[in-house]
Chains A and B, each alone.
Chain A
């Protein structure tokens, strides 16, 4: 069986780009990566039908299959496209939901994993909790040309809040140096207060800035 090299190359490039995008933590890029890879796979199946340019049907008079494309891969691909379509719609809805819920479409760390890492000592806890520092999103971070009165979608809150959080972290650190495990937990918690997950509740309650952050971040405009 011979196939067109250009098509194979296109397929390879799509696979590579799709894979790269899927490795990202931002969900929109994961979705784009999935679409690219899905289409690359569809192309692979289409290529098994035979050389491009041939019809997948006979003309009805000459009933040999010479010069005809194999119609089955086309049928398979149609099914695959429909499935991919449905799943990307679902994924898109979920990304939107994720963004509505936590103002964040990056993948969060698992609480239990962070807890286990924290139990071993602060160093590894910092390693486990990466989502706080990871700040790469498709839905507006620090805007290039800020619009007056626009929603502040920054994960860290407004600059004022960020300073408040820094102070809270300093306090938590001072406590942690006292030798207790709870300090480390509070630190991890204070970084995660935005996500509204259960792990953050007890830590969030003893610092004033964090408790009302959720309501604030919806209203404060940008002052840069």
Chain B
């Protein structure tokens, strides 16, 4: 019965996209359809999560074709968790985008395209998460990438086109490599069904396994922005509209991480690339955060921290133990939510002051205390300050690392701790410069900010109460606040999240459960 729900997270947004396209020009109607669709998807995902957790992996054979010949859609605990998180993020970011849209009516973005494209992006993300065969995973990736190309170049200004070119060409190359990997896998095994592959790849000679493994990892590594393949990210993400950057930064790289987790556990359980992956993880963490140290544009700076923290997830996956995987899944969930919250908060700063450069911003902590709090909480969370989930995730990773008693992993723990400290440095620098500093002391002072700051100073000196005349759209503030609240809730319910991540990781570590539930040889558990 539960299996009926499996295709819906893909089907509903696609139907919604069709309807919103027909409603083009009627902004209210479009918005209503999009919000309702995403809310329903969130409800379905929640049902799926609890159902899958209680009753085991749910599988649908598309069109009733018998598996393994038909196309399989499978939701196990990992997919269910990712589906729920992505639904939360997409819904909140959409509300934020609606708020921004209403705020700047004379916007350069063609409104009628945004909603359908956004829904297709959601459908693509969901399709990648529920794909039960490698080719469907590719199709899911193409859906979300195709939509992301349009979203990134919305309005087609010179700057966005420039950034879009980097992003699109790199994504196209990674898709080609993925497709090539699928071709090679099919040539070697004669199937693209993930469950069947899990068995057949194990029977291949080790060198062929290695080639297939590396091809797929490179393809997913580009999408996940892992160190030597990550340079496209800080060039392209920051130029997009704030909500688009938020959803990209939160979700898209994590779809790559999800694919890497699947590759490392279900597909290539035998083949061992752990050492190179660990090295790559360490380099991703360090190079990413050092890049962030050098930046002065907050959006770019956050893009670099995004790369750097991808390293933690790769670290967890590469450890190969159940604890490592659990920590990686937990960290992925935490990072999706925190990174999105941060970008939404910075989007508010940009909306308020028209810039996100720490060379121009100043005094925000007194001028906009609420907004500063919205930035401050997820920022501390990202840096891993106790008691937030960032701290829990990192501590869990390091603990899992200590249990392996391997010197390379000890080195990685050191790199991870250093990265965490450097993140704190970067966050501290941003806070000091953009939020605490007198706007007059900045390198390139913004006249509006300076004036506002002076007004406030006078008001305080006279003993009057002072309120900023700058008004922010309520929907934007509201959705950003809810996003920050969700990030705090992740900390509050960290125990439950940890438990379900642990069960998901156990499932993944014993691929036979996945195989048997998809192919139905025994009763899935």
Contacts and interface: CB of A to CB of B under 8 A. Distances in A.
Interface of A: 1, 22, 27, 30, 34, 37-38, 41, 44-45, 47-48, 70, 72-73, 76, 79-80, 83, 86-87, 90-91, 94, 97-98, 101-102, 107-108, 110, 112-113, 116, 195-198
Interface in B117-164: 135, 139, 142, 146, 149-150, 153, 156-159, 161-162, 164
A86 B146 contact: yes
Contacts of B295: 112
Contact of A44 (B183, B235, B294, B300): B183
Nearest to A34: B172
A197 B159 contact: yes
B350 interface: no
B183 A90 contact: no
**Across the A-B interface, the 9 shortest Cβ-Cβ residue pairs:** A48-B187, A45-B183, A44-B183, A101-B158, A98-B161, A83-B142, A41-B179, A41-B180, A108-B162
Interface in B63-110: none
Given A22-B169, A34-B169, A197 B294 contact: no
B158 A90 contact: no
B173 interface: yes
- The prevalent SS among residues of A at the interface is helix
Interface string B309-344: 000000000000000000000000000000000000
B176 interface: yes
18 contacts: A22-B169, A34-B173, A41-B176, A41-B179, A45-B182, A47-B183, A48-B187, A76-B186, A79-B135, A83-B175, A94-B153, A94-B156, A94-B165, A101-B161, A102-B158, A112-B295, A195-B158, A197-B158
A87 to B, nearest CB: 6
Nearest to B69: A72
Contact of B156 (A97, A107, A113): A97
Given A38-B176, A76-B182, A79-B139, A107 B165 contact: yes
Nearest to B357: A112
Nearest to B178: A41
Contacts of B166: 107
Contacts of B135: 76, 79
B139 A48 contact: no
A86 to B, nearest CB: 7
Contacts of B150: 90
A29 to B, nearest CB: 11
A98 B180 contact: no
A110 to B, nearest CB: 5
A87 B187 contact: no
B297 interface: yes
Nearest to A43: B183
Contact of B186 (A30, A48, A90): A48
